[in-house]
Structure 1
């Protein structure tokens, strides 16, 4: 959805978006209840694992980079850059993520934010969310 830049050692920027796509066949729970997602993850992990490929899609010259609501159409170069594999899943009450904050503006070397204003908005909203989660624990 949001666009970023890949930045090489010379400072050249290449616009890109990334997504995570299932890399295997996972079963789907058809009866929903409050714990269906956790139960589905645990079953699929027990049946051999759950993984997603991180697919980087490089922008074409005519693609709109600064507006995540504009879909990129046509043929694009796609690169499978990584694989995320879940090896365990636990109930939220047993988790250890309350103090973690996802911030789309905190990037590894070789990446830079695009001009997409939603990146800054998401950064602020997620910071507010982690603050609220932590205040609920007190």
Structure 2
């Protein structure tokens, strides 16, 4: 996983990391965003018709071992699971193709992203950081949201609390170009749907949750039986925008099933493994290529830089 060649992208990635640390404080050994998480082992089984969409190796094989990380939002490693800022939740999936060979999916539980590119996202974070309770209205974040309708829409999108992280749907932020063995290509976005269905808690139930409820519930659930998700790809129609994560595609777009994710156990040394693993938003695998979305190279740079920082932190 190399750093981008573009020095401006790397500089922006470093500025974003610095802003995350300013917002949430430095927490050595943890991610600057989605710091609190739990990792599980499992297996991916491709759907019979998935090769019509892509020739990617984990689609051609009968099965592929996976490493999965569920997470809360923010850079706070001890954020209570019932805190409003714990949403949206994250789900990252690593398909382990061979030793030191993999491809990843990075997703979260709100469909879309607040800004078109990294520069706007940095502006968004700075506005949020300058808008404490003592700051009079209109606060910087209010002014930013008032002039950026996509960010306002993202912020106002309902983010209900799932009864389990195994009963939440997760969405890929950016689009990718999927190609099959015949050379046919389509753009699509990942959608990861729980086999058990979505289920959300009332406000009263959320208020009663323990601080580590979701990780405890997930660990208990997977001990009872495997956790199943269906990995789908929402296919772009002709004319759909494929390089802007703030633009949603209509719900009537075709959904192609890639396969089933079966999670079977919690990784015992989960904190150590979370410190080491660096997920990559860019597929880097034959049959799935990045779109022109400007967030992709930036996110890859942030993940790599923060991962190096995390790995070098003293235990």
> What's the TM-score, normalizing by structure 2?
0.40
For 1:107 and 1:55, locate their aligned partners in 2 and report how far apart those are by CA, in whole Å. 19
Which of 115, 126, 135 is the matching residue for 2:292? Answer: 115
Larger radius of gyration: 2
Does residue 84 in structure 1 map to residue 261 in structure 2? yes
Unaligned runs of 5+ in 2: 1-172
Does residue 98 in structure 1 map to residue 284 in structure 2? no
Shifted more, 101-110 versus 21-30: the winner is 21-30
Does residue 24 in structure 1 map to residue 201 in structure 2? no
For 1:28 and 1:52, locate their aligned partners in 2 and report how far apart those are by CA, in whole Å. 17
1:26–1:44: 8 Å Cα contact kept in structure 2? no
Matched residue count: 137
Summarize the alignment of residues 1-138 of structure 1 with structure 2, pairs less than 5 Å apart: 1-24=173-196, 30=206, 31-89=208-266, 90=268, 92-93=270-271, 95-137=272-314
Displacement of 1:10 after TM fit? 4.9
For 1:38 and 1:26, locate their aligned partners in 2 and report how far apart those are by CA, in whole Å. 17
Aligned-residue CA RMSD (Å): 2.4
2:84 match: none
For 2:213 and 2:282, locate their aligned partners in 1 and report how far apart those are by CA, in whole Å. 32
Displacement of 1:110 after TM fit? 0.6
Instruction: Indicate the structure with greater helix content.
Output: 2
Displacement of 1:91 after TM fit? 6.5
Shifted more, 6-15 versus 48-57: the winner is 6-15
- CA separation of 1:99 and 1:111: change in aligned 2, threshold 3 A: same
For 1:14 and 1:91, locate their aligned partners in 2 and report how far apart those are by CA, in whole Å. 39
> What's the TM-score, normalizing by structure 1?
0.84
2:104 match: none
1:5–1:14: 8 Å Cα contact kept in structure 2? yes
Measured against aligned partners, the alpha-carbon deviations of 1:67-123 in whole angstroms (never above 9, x if no partner) come to 011000141111121111221125743x42322211122432111100111111110
- CA separation of 1:131 and 1:43: change in aligned 2, threshold 3 A: same
Unaligned runs of 5+ in 1: none
Measured against aligned partners, the alpha-carbon deviations of 1:48-83 in whole angstroms (never above 9, x if no partner) come to 222211111111112110001100014111112111
- CA separation of 1:65 and 1:25: change in aligned 2, threshold 3 A: closer
